[in-house]
Amino acid sequence: MKPDISHYKKEKKHDQELVVRLGTEGLKKIIDKKSTLYFIAGTILVFLIFIISWVNFQKRPVADSTQDYKYFEITKGETTKGIGIKLKEAGLVRSDLAFYLNSKMSFKNLQAGNYKLAATMDMDEIIKKFQKGDVDAFSVTIPEGYRVLQIAKTLEEKGKVDPNKFIEAAIGTEGTLFPDTYVFPLNLEPAKIVREMKDDFEKRTQKYRLSADQLILASIVEREAKKDDERPKIAAVYRNRADQNMLLQADPTVQYALDTQKYLKDKSLDFAFWAAPTSQEIKDLVSPFNTYKQKGYPPAPICNPGIKSIEAAINPEPNFDYLYFFHDKNQQIHFSKTYTEHLKAIQDFGL
């Protein structure tokens, strides 16, 4: 009797078909996955090529021929993003985003300082300059009320300017070197620094048509005032005293003369400026700036005043008929009309 193998053959055929079917579907899945991966990889590659091409295009100089340089400052703690935005606004790069990406790809910090840049420089040049800290200039702030000697000392500290050469170049300019923030090229001649500060003064004060006496008065007010609202009143006091042919008795003018003597003695700026004079120093000082002995205004300004003191000297407090004032130990100012009232106020409040 022959065995019935038809059932076995049918089952085997079914299994073979199942294996074939499963293999085809699995292969299709593998192919689909690979296609997806290839597509993603291709898309990423195209995107990267586009980004690199775009960044390389944006790295080109903004201009081809102009050689006008600009001074650009990076401040301490400034972000790369903020630097890029400033460069774009200054017309020195094509794209702040491209600058940001290019800077970050180099993995080097950008150094603070003042740089001379031009629109003809490409982005790589600018970034390398920032990374090396290859500065071309220095920034300096001259406070209101600084005299020429103090400005010279500050320039020496900030930009290695020869202080004695600056002082020599600034002879006769006291009062006309405007207190401001400046950016000067390294190794700039002191005479050119003086010229730029004078130009700033002339531009800022042109509308006031200052007289010589008003500028001198403004310089005294600058050294005396502690608060802005005091300035017109202090100016009125000194104008009143000058109009009545009284001694001004302004301590800052004495301090100015004493500090000048200290400098001339050994050509050194290593001393504390504007130290309070003693009664003996006032008594012994022989100088046209000693307003305890010489009536009227001193022969020249004693410092470089700011706009608020200049405006106070031009327009002193109206109808303010006071002749004396002092600051007490809490820096509060007290005005008096008579010397007796002045002495009593000093006794009550203390210098």
Mean local confidence (pLDDT), 208-224: 97
pLDDT at 61: 83
Superfamily name and number for 69-135:
Endolytic murein transglycosylase (3.30.1490.480)
What DSSP designation does 95 have? -
pLDDT at 53: 74
pLDDT in tens, 10-25: 555 555 555 555 566 6
pLDDT in tens, 227-242: 999 999 999 999 999 9
* Amino acid at residue number 275: A
**Cβ contacts of 73-78, under 8 Å, gap ≥ 24:** 73/113, 73/114, 73/115, 73/139, 73/183, 74/110, 74/111, 74/112, 74/113, 74/115, 74/130, 75/112, 76/112, 77/112, 78/112
Between 106 and 202, whose confidence is greater? 202
Whole-number Cα distances in Å, 202 to 19, 169, 176, 197, 205: 97, 18, 8, 9, 5
- Neighbouring-strand partners of residue 137: 114, 185
Q: Considering the entire predicted model, what is its pTM?
A: 0.79
Lowest average pLDDT, out of 18-27, 155-164, 309-318, goes to 18-27
What DSSP designation does 207 have? G
Domain residues of the chain, as ranges?
Answer: 69-135, 148-320
Strands 137-141 and 181-185 turn out to be antiparallel
Q: Distance between CA atoms of 31 and 43, rounded to whole angstroms?
A: 18
What DSSP designation does 176 have? -
Mean local confidence (pLDDT), 196-218: 97
pLDDT-derived band at 3 (thresholds 50, 70, 90) equals low
pLDDT-derived band at 2 (thresholds 50, 70, 90) equals low
pLDDT at 8: 47
Whole-number Cα distances in Å, 34 to 37, 46, 47, 201: 5, 18, 20, 74
Q: Using CB atoms within 10 A of its CB, is residue 221 exposed (0-12), middle (13-18) or buried (19+)? A: buried
Instruction: Assign 181 to helix, strand or coil.
Output: strand
